Amino acid sequence: MDSLFADEAFDRRPTIVVPGAVWVPGFLSSEAQQWIIARYAEWQSGPVPPHATTIAGHPMSVTTIGLGWHWQPGGYHRRAVDVNDKVVLPFPDWMTRLGRQVLQSAVTVVEDSADFAPGSAAAWGFDPACYHPDVALVNYYDEHAKMGMHQDKDEFDPAPVVSLSLGDTCLFRFGNTESRNRPFDDLRLASGDAFVFGGPARFAYHGVRSIQAGTAPDAGRLDHLGGGRINITIRTTGRD
């Protein structure tokens, strides 16, 4: 019965979800997943520990580590002013290269589609050579964590956001730019999947509805954390 609802039972072809948003399933190899998970253990022991950001007086159910910049609602800071006032770990060069590789894969998906005119990817800002991200927000979800529908709008630069999933599969909802309501698409983001949104979809509302406990592949298992999911979003703040 479980096999009926395994990730491979669903359509996992690369997909243009809406103009400006591209899902690339299975982007990360097993080796890459294991390597990045090992980096997470290093980030955990960095100067700013994983922390639950407070929004409207309530702590989020996810914990966050910032690389390059510390985020709190409304903006970015070099120091974790609402945690311990320490400077966050630097944004790693390899993450820039990885973000560009994801963007290139997204460009290929768009160029191979008969539904979009030539040049669509460039119009959406999918330009790997000109992609210069400077921050990653690394969120950890335990099996009970969720994230409400929200917009990523604290960046001054509207460059695309690159998202990577590790660990258990999540039910991800990607909506529209006008409200948290319909229309929206629900996707099962599995370990190793990449998702890019920019251009007309850059400020779309999106969120995580649930975590599907016990669905991680061997390469993406987070047993040392008690299971769950790691999500890395690579962004460009537009700040000096």
3-state secondary structure 204-236: CCEEEEEEECCCCCHHHCCHHHCCCEEEEEEEC
Rounded Cα distance, 141 and 132, in Å: 27
Rounded Cα distance, 85 and 11, in Å: 45
Look at the block and give the residue holding tokens 């899902």.
23
Tell how strand 135-141 and strand 229-235 pair up. antiparallel
Report whether 129 contacts 174 (CB < 8 A): no
Bridge partner residues of 13 (DSSP): none
Tokens (6 digits) for 73: 């609602």
132 known ligand binder: no
Look at the block and give the residue holding tokens 């335990």.
142
150 known ligand binder: yes
Written as one letter, the residue type at 122 is: A
Question: Residue 217: which region, alpha, beta or left (left: phi > 0; alpha: psi -120 to 50)?
Answer: beta
Tell me which residue of 198, 155, 197 sits closest to 172, measured CA to CA.
Answer: 197
Pick out the residues of the known binding site for Fe cation: 150, 152, 206
Pick out the residues of the known binding site: 150, 152, 206
